[in-house]
Amino acid sequence: MIVGIGTAVRAAARRCPFDSFRPRNPLIAGHAVDRLAAAAAGRILTHRERDKLYHSWPRPCSAGAFKYGTAAFLYSACSSTSRSEENGQGENGGDGAIDGVKTTNLESSLRKNNFSEAYSAIELALDSVVKIFTLSSSPNYFLPWVNKVDRESTGSGFVIPGKRILTNAHVVADHIFVLVRKHGSSTKYKAEVQAVGHECDLAILVVEDEKFWEDINPLELGDVPFLQEAVAVVGYPQGGDNISVTKGVVSRVEPTQYVHGASQLLAIQIDAAINPGNSGGPAIMGDKVVGVAFQNLSGAENIGYIIPVPVIRHFIAGVEESGNYVGFCSMGLSCQPVKNVHLRNYFRMGPECTGVLVTKINPLSDAYRMLRIDDIILSFDGVPIANDGTITFRNNERITFDHLVSMKKPNETAEVRVLRNGEEIQFCIRLFPYLFTNV
């Protein structure tokens, strides 16, 4: 392979597409020789073989040109071998081997497998994603006796088990009537709103027409994705009528302000663009739904938010148990961190003691009967609270302890341990929906 390369190298050099192989970057080109030689011959060229190649090049020639030409030649050899393998016509008996060493077009194989698997998963989900058409009339707070002009809007949703459609609350807010259309169909079906949770920005729709449910499969809920895991957001954003798929990775998982409901619930930040019309569409990882697209960060590029599975499950479970939306719980407290050393000493907190300071209590909450201002909340349901108000979430991630409170069902109780006047006291507090206890 290293004999008589003059003409072949010159021809291959003219076809070489890699800028890093050019003589102006001989060091990188030298490494490329080793890599391409390994791919072409199954091993790294020895110094003696490289010297032989160098001295066999017609003079005058620079070391950079030598490396460029050799790399180009080996690249050409690899490309020819890969093409022969794909056609089933290897140089040695049709097995695609060079010098007795079999090579494979690994990059092409991986690309085909990844694209095939990703497309198969999304293709199955496309049939479960619907476009929602809403005619709404919002109240006029300046003229309460009349409503605002009727408004048409579109959004996205997807089918879940039980012949139901999950979408965002703001997609169907103040609705007069709602229509849905399946992917690949031109027929619109009338839908009824079964339940709306403005606090968590979720809603459930039902369609009575049985023709709508033909050849449609529900999507299953998965788990909370980890950081840097890839997700695909499917929906019908503005700018077109067909379905759209946007890919991104998970950037952050933490409680976030929900714009529609003005509540603080767990949310997932992704770097995929979520535009108007995407709202209510599923965020898919593999063949599972890991969230529902619902808002973006105004003034920032490629920062979107999806509602995670724990919030979705909590909403659906409440609707299934009571037939209507029951809400998310709150303790009805306002707290502040206790990181200042002098503040900790003032409240007699030991070096191992951590918690948050109660600064305000809603009179409508059950905590109003038991807790006092200037109490230090040390733990919630046995989970210790740090001085900044966070708890351990998973691995090394931390989130505010409000997440534990919000995941409780209304009228459930929680054990709260507090520090009062230097003494630890434990209470059992009943929790109520967020809207009635928020301060």
The answer to whether residue 312 scores a pLDDT higher than 80 is: yes
Going by pLDDT thresholds of 50, 70 and 90, the confidence category of residue 16 is very low
pLDDT at 78 over 80: no
Residue 372: is its pLDDT beyond 50?
yes
Structure confidence at residue 374 (pLDDT):
94
Q: Where are the beta strands (DSSP E) in 338-405?
A: 356-361, 376-380, 383-384, 390-394, 397-400
State the pLDDT confidence band at 434, using cuts at 50, 70 and 90. low
pLDDT of residue 127: 87
Q: Which of 89-98, 175-184, 242-251, 317-326 has the lowest mean pLDDT?
A: 89-98
Least confident of 6-20, 83-97, 368-382, 394-408: 83-97
Residue 122 region by backbone torsions, left for phi larger than 0, else alpha for psi between -120 and 50, else beta = alpha
E strands in 259-407: 263-270, 282-285, 288-296, 304-308, 329-330, 333-337, 356-361, 376-380, 383-384, 390-394, 397-400
92 contacts 100 by C-beta, under 8 angstroms: yes
pLDDT at position 222, please?
92
Q: Which band of pLDDT confidence, cut at 50, 70 and 90, is reported for residue 133?
A: very high
Residue 71 near residue 13 (C-beta atoms within 8 A): no
Cα angle at 253 between 292 and 155, to 5 degrees? 20
pLDDT tier, 299 (very low <50, low <70, confident <90, very high otherwise): confident
pTM for this entry: 0.70
Choose the catalytic residue: 82, 170, 244, 365.
Answer: 170
Residue 67: C-alpha distances to residues 9, 17, 59, 130, 416 (Å): 11, 15, 14, 56, 71
- Residue in 201, 366, 375, 402 annotated catalytic: 201
Q: Is 201 a catalytic residue?
A: yes
Q: What is the mean pLDDT of the chain?
A: 77
Cis peptide before 60 (omega within 30 of 0): yes
Place of tokens 């697209």: 293
| 388 in Cβ contact with 354 (< 8 Å) | no
pLDDT in the model for residue 121: 61
In DSSP terms, 377 is beta-bridged to: 356, 418
Tell me the mean pLDDT in the region 426-435.
84
Tell me the pLDDT band of 341, cut-offs 50, 70 and 90: very high
* Confidence band for 107, pLDDT divided at 50, 70 and 90: very low
Tell me the β-bridge partners of 306: 268, 293
Amino acid 108: pLDDT: 42
pLDDT higher at 113 or 383: 383
Kindly tell me if the per-residue pLDDT of 383 is higher than 90: yes
Which pLDDT score is estimated for 124?
A: 72
Using the predicted structure, report yes or no on whether residue 59 has a pLDDT greater than 90.
no
Given this model, what pLDDT does residue 273 score? 79
Is residue 69 predicted with pLDDT exceeding 80?
no
Which domains are assigned to the chain?
6-102 (no CATH), 126-213 (2.40.10.10), 223-322 (2.40.10.10), 329-437 (2.30.42.10)
pLDDT above 70 for 229: yes
Q: Which pLDDT does position 120 carry in this prediction? A: 57
Q: Which of 279, 330, 379, 406 is labelled catalytic?
A: 279
Res 274: pLDDT: 85
pLDDT confidence of residue 49? 54
Which of 21, 43, 38 has its CA nearest to residue 30? 21
Give the range among 57-61, 267-271, 339-343 with minimum mean pLDDT.
57-61
**251: pLDDT confidence band, cut at 50, 70 and 90?**
very high
pLDDT score recorded for residue 89? 41
Q: Which of 65-79, 94-108, 378-392 has the lowest mean pLDDT?
A: 94-108
Give the pLDDT mean for 210-225: 92
Could you tell me if 155 and 180 are in contact, meaning their C-beta atoms sit under 8 angstroms apart?
no
128 is catalytic: no
Q: What is the pLDDT of residue 261?
A: 81
The predicted structure's pLDDT at residue 96? 38
Question: Confidence band (pLDDT; 50, 70, 90) for 1?
Answer: very low
Tell me, what's the pLDDT at 50? 52
Residue 123 confidence (pLDDT): 74
Q: Band the pLDDT of 297: cuts 50, 70, 90.
A: confident
Residue 55: how many CB atoms within 10 A of its CB? 10
Q: Cα(231)–Cα(271) distance, rounded to whole angstroms?
A: 10
